[in-house]
């Protein structure tokens, strides 16, 4: 957030910032802010009107498609379900690349991505090389 916004949004900071202004200057600032607010209200009302018009047109197209018995696949010219299904497919997990036996006798593996296991980190800090733990 910019310093100007921090001042405008915090009453005490705003009061301190405008302390040196005269009443006439404060009134001028007030008028400018009111014009900006009015403009923003008009913009938002226009955007809402446009969105409502778009939704109305979409509903009209859906109704017309139902009346004519036309489906989405006929409009697109291909089956749309495989495209949707392919985007939801999960990738296979990466196989582990490194392995170490910790102090409790458990075999800990690591793919080389994400946080390094503490046992492996401790072994490397004690002077061993990461290549020593490669899974062959």
Tell me the pLDDT tens digit for each residue of 26-50: 999 999 999 999 999 999 999 999 9
Region 96-112 average pLDDT: 92
The domains found in the chain, sorted by start residue, are 3-72 (no CATH), 98-133 (4.10.430)
Helices (H), 18-132: 23-68, 72-76, 81-87, 118-125
Identify whether the C-beta of residue 84 lies closer than 8 Å to the C-beta of residue 68: no
Region 9-21 average pLDDT: 93
Angstrom distance (rounded) from CA 8 to CA 13: 7
Name the DSSP letter for residue 89. P
CA 61 to each of CA 38, 55, 65, 73: distance values in angstroms, whole numbers, following the listed order: 35, 10, 6, 15
Region 83-88 average pLDDT: 62
Identify whether the C-beta of residue 123 lies closer than 8 Å to the C-beta of residue 110: no
Percent of the chain with pLDDT over 70: 93
Q: Please give the model's pTM, rounded to 2 decimal places.
A: 0.46
Angstrom distance (rounded) from CA 71 to CA 61: 11
């Amino acid at each position: 957030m910019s310093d100007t916004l921090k001042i405008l949004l915090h009453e005490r900071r705003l009061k301190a910032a405008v302390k040196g202004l005269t009443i006439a200057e404060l009134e001028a600032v007030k008028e400018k802010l009111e014009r900006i607010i009015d403009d923003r209200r008009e913009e938002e009302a226009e955007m809402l009107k446009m969105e409502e018009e778009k939704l109305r047109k979409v509903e009209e197209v859906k109704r017309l498609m139902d009346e004519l018995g036309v489906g989405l696949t006929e409009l697109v010219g291909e089956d749309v379900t495989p495209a949707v299904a392919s985007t939801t497919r999960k990738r296979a997990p990466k196989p582990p690349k490194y392995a170490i036996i910790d102090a409790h006798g458990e075999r800990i593996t690591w793919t080389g991505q994400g946080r390094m296991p503490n046992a492996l980190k401790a072994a490397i800090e004690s002077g061993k090389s990461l290549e020593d733990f490669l899974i062959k």
